[in-house]
Amino acid sequence: MTRITVKVDGSSFTDEVEPRTLLVHYLREQLGKTGTVIGCDTGNCGACTVHLDGRSVKSCSLLAVQADGHQVTTIEGLSTNGQLHPMQQAFHENHALQCGYCTPGMIMQSIDLIVDNPDPSEEDVRLGLEGNLCRCTGYQNIVKAVRAAAQQARTQQAGTQPAGAQPAGAQAAGAQAAGAQAAGAQAAGVEQPGVEQAGVGEEQAAGEEQAAGEVQVGVGEEQVGVGQGVGGVR
């Protein structure tokens, strides 16, 4: 066994793990972060995507020991004081989920995507999400949601900048898109007291409509039988 200390969704955890333990298994089984789901266990589907030090990674493709000393953000750490993360909200408003199983990974990857590209074209989004598969094939609305979140971020960014000022690069707009939490403080694992568990909800996983403001977008917990998606975003 190996002792690791990892900051997950703003809280620090020290645990003994087997060196072979995958990060996704550590998150789900030792920390109870079941909002991060497993679709394939082989790095193909992207359902397990989380942020490691602010960038997206497939947590089934990393060992828990590789996260030692680092900061992890899961779908459960995105909301703030009961408010959905802007990307979660965009998925909700654009009906970008059906069964919801791929949604946690889609959202985590999408946040990272718009950090790098604050104004993605449809093609850019499809390329950026090609490592995330949706078995329900709801790609059209996923693309719409990501572009809507990016647009909102740019609007907010413009509203906070002096006239004529340019954003301080892609990271600025991306952080804004992420509600100033994904790639920045949030993804960096800054403490967020009172953060609710974003995206853990069976009714959401079942694809039911969800009232705005609820914090369950993005996670289909324990959807046994949902395996690799087919086709990819493209």
* Contact set with ligand FES (CB under 6 A): 38-41, 43-48, 58, 60, 97-103, 134-136, 138, 229
Parallel, antiparallel, or unpaired for β 55-58 and 71-73?
unpaired
Q: Considering the complex, what minimum distance in angstroms separates the CB of residue 37 from ligand FES?
A: 7
> In whole angstroms, how close is the CB of 233 to ligand FES at the nearest point?
10
CB of 160 to ligand FES, least distance (A): 33
Q: Each residue of 134-160: b (16+ CB within 10 Å) or e?
A: bbbebbebbbbbbbbbbbbbbebbeee
For the record, the structure tokens of 156 come out as 């907010």
- Least Å distance between CB 156 and ligand FES? 27
Task: Give the C-alpha separation, 71 to 75, whole Å.
Answer: 14
CB-nearer residue toward ligand FES: 39 or 120: 39
For residues 96 and 140, is the Cβ–Cβ distance under 8 A? no
Using the minimum distance from each CB to ligand FES, give the nearer residue, 97 or 153.
97
Structure tokens at 219: 């996670």
> Is the Cβ of residue 141 or residue 156 nearer to ligand FES in the bound state?
141
Q: How far apart are CA 185 and CA 216, in angstroms?
A: 21
